[in-house]
Amino acid sequence: MHSRHLPDTRPRARGLAPALTNAVLLAAFAALLPLGACATRNGYGVGEQAQAEQQMRAAAQEPAPDTPGMYLGLIERMQGEGLYYASLAHIDAYERQYGASPQSILLRADALRATGQSAASAAAYAQLAGTPLEGRGHRGLGLLAGGAGDFRKAAQELAAASALAPTDAATLSDLGYALLRDGEVPAARVPLLKAIELDAHNPRIVANVALYLVASGDAGGARSLMTQQNLPAETRAAVERDARKIAQARRTREVSELPPPEAPALPHASAKVVDANGIGGWSGVGQGRLVARLTQ
């Protein structure tokens, strides 16, 4: 679903794992990206198990807030800092005390995705169907599908998420990126242009629009956009790499959509009347025997 590019170590206001909105970060689909971000903060060489143990100790020391809303806010802040293992411990404690809610289920699904537990994460996202957070569930399922390399399914889930949250620029950009990676370049135009008009200075969205321009044959326009928005060299190189992947996806899609070759036409046989001298037909073959053979 993992190749990694540039880990995003910025705190996130809602505490969600990085999304595929970054054309530079194919790892936006990768469930383990937040672990890379944590390694950056805690120092390279900190193993995943040691990191989890550190987070669990931090979780045990964090006092639980007095109200459900404050407790959920604490868990969101933990995830915003990349403490996904610790957040899972506190989600368990929250649901034991207050019961599960759509928000706690979403936080659990995001944490499971961020810690590489894809099957459990998908099951949690599916529980959001029919709740006010159903769109977030579709978005999470789309990111999981993208992380597994299934960009077609990712686009389907993200389209459903965008239908439920039409002005969410990040989801629109996610959708555009998934369509691009599936080789559906023309279809990516509208969601990406919506996204950049809704959030014109988001570097991830800008990178995705630049990726669309390259894939559409307007490399000059892509360079101008990236220069105008001061995207770093690493981002530009990653856009070029993803553009090559998109070109391959387009070729694969075009081949798969070709009609099957037609079977060679068989010669049309017809029973001709043969006279006594064999004139006008297969000489020496009587008419009755010929008709019988052609109709068997």
Give residue 244's domain range: 26-258
CB 41 within 8 A of CB 9: yes
Domain match, 80 and 52 both: yes
CB 137 within 8 A of CB 126: yes
Domain match, 79 and 150 both: yes
Domain assignment present for residue 11? The answer is no
10 Å CB burial of residue 6 (0-12, 13-18, 19+) is middle
Domain assignment present for residue 15? The answer is no
Domain match, 209 and 72 both: yes
Buried b (16+ CB within 10 A) or exposed e, 240-273: ebbbebbeebbeeeeeeeeeeeeeeeeeeeeeee
Domain match, 128 and 210 both: yes
Domain assignment present for residue 283? The answer is yes
CA distances (Å), origin 131, targets 60, 103, 126, 127, 128: 31, 10, 10, 8, 5
pLDDT in tens, the chain (296 residues): 444 444 443 334 333 333 444 443 333 333 333 323 333 334 434 455 455 555 555 554 555 666 899 999 999 999 999 999 999 999 999 999 999 999 999 999 999 999 999 999 999 999 999 999 999 999 999 999 999 999 999 999 999 999 999 999 999 999 999 999 999 999 999 999 999 999 999 999 999 999 999 999 999 999 999 999 999 999 999 999 999 999 999 888 877 766 766 666 655 555 444 344 433 333 333 434 433 433 44
Domain match, 107 and 229 both: yes
Please tell me the total count of domains within the chain. 2
Q: pTM for the whole thing?
A: 0.67
Domain assignment present for residue 189? The answer is yes
- Give the domain CATH number at 96: 1.25.40.10
Domain match, 160 and 43 both: yes
Helices (H) and strands (E) in the chain, counts: 14, 0
Give the integer Cα–Cα distance in Å for 9 and 173.
20
